[in-house]
Amino acid sequence: MTIPKRSRAQLRAIQIDEIKRVAKVQLVTKGVSGVSLREIARDLGLVSSALYRYFSTRDELLTALILDAYNELGEAVEKADASVVCDDTFGRWRAACLAIRQWASAHPHEYTLLYGTPLLDYHAPDQTIAPASRVTLVLGRIVGDAHRRRPPSAIPTGNEDVTSWLNVSNLAQALPGVPTLYYVRALIAWSEIFGFLSFELFGHFKGSIIDYEKAFSHVVEELANFVLY
């Protein structure tokens, strides 16, 4: 019998996946504070110092979990957007927003890891930027498509200079075809989606909202009227 020989690089990749797998179980069941290197090592039949061959610090492991979570969420939202016909910008908006909430409800601890208190004090590593942008880019594209379908005569204009306090070049890329006047509204809609979900998951709506799903769908509708038209 020939034992399938795996190269050291392959074994290393497998071990990294194993560590992340066990860490994710702890994250799901006990939250981010319950992710313990020593317990991961015990689960894998290793000694704790062995883990440092793969992640040089606990924060580095958590960063890997953050990356995976951003990509999971991003993929879910991209799929939801793609499942609606391109011209139906309102339908796409709603599908994308509902996908965000669905993912957050299904993965509250992962959501908390992404949008709760940041662990890496106030400077996320650069590698998280791209995965974190996936959701934002989908929402921005939908808003952009909605405004591009508007007749030129109906394009609202403002005369305020926004360049001193908004990063217009970045926003223009994320919101292609959206009039500058709407940049603030887009930022509001974006942060409100996550503000609402954070309030929901963190318990601030307790006593105000009974059916969160229904309330959220109304919020999504109000926001659509606010940014799309």
Partner DNA sequence: ACAGAAAAGAGAGCAGTGCTCTCTCTGTTA
Partner DNA sequence: TAACAGAGAGAGCACTGCTCTCTTTTCTGT
**Interface residues with DNA (CB under 7 A)?**
7-8, 11-12, 15, 35-39, 45-50, 52-54, 56-59
Indicate the residue among 35 and 77 with the shorter CB distance to DNA: 35
211 contacts 189 by C-beta, under 8 angstroms: no
Least distance from DNA to the Cβ atom of residue 16, Å: 9
Task: State CA 48 to chain mean position distance.
Answer: 31
Distance CA 80, CA 138 (A): 10
**At a CB cut-off of 8 Å and minimum separation 6, what does 89 contact?**
142, 143, 145, 146, 149, 228
- Which one-letter amino acid corresponds to residue 3? I
Indicate the residue among 26 and 180 with the shorter CB distance to DNA: 26
Distance CA 146, CA 171 (A): 16
Stretch that binds a copy of itself, among 4-12, 41-49, 93-101, 198-206 (CB under 8 A): 198-206
Residue 48 binds: one of a copy of itself, DNA, none (C-beta under 5 to 8 A by kind): DNA
Sign of torsion, CA 58 27 73 168? negative
**Residue 52 found at the interface with a copy of itself (CB under 8 A):** no
Question: What's the token pair of residue 166?
Answer: 């908004």
Least distance from DNA to the Cβ atom of residue 40, Å: 8
Binding test (CB under 8 A) with a copy of itself, winner from 131, 198, 224, 228: 198
74 contacts 134 by C-beta, under 8 angstroms: yes
Binding test (CB under 8 A) with a copy of itself, winner from 16, 124, 137, 172: 124
Binding test (CB under 8 A) with a copy of itself, winner from 117, 153, 157, 159: 117
Query: What does DSSP assign to residue 153?
Result: G
Within 67-106, which residues bind a copy of itself (CB under 8 A)?
A: none
Size of the site for a copy of itself (CB under 8 A): 47
Ramachandran sector of residue 188 (left: φ over 0; alpha: ψ -120 to 50; beta: rest) = alpha
Indicate the residue among 31 and 179 with the shorter CB distance to a copy of itself: 31
**At a CB cut-off of 8 Å and minimum separation 6, what does 133 contact?**
174
For a copy of itself, the binding residues (CB under 8 A) are 31-32, 112, 115-118, 121-124, 129, 132, 164-167, 170-171, 174, 184-185, 187-188, 191-192, 194-196, 198-199, 202-205, 207-211, 214-215, 218-219, 222-223, 226
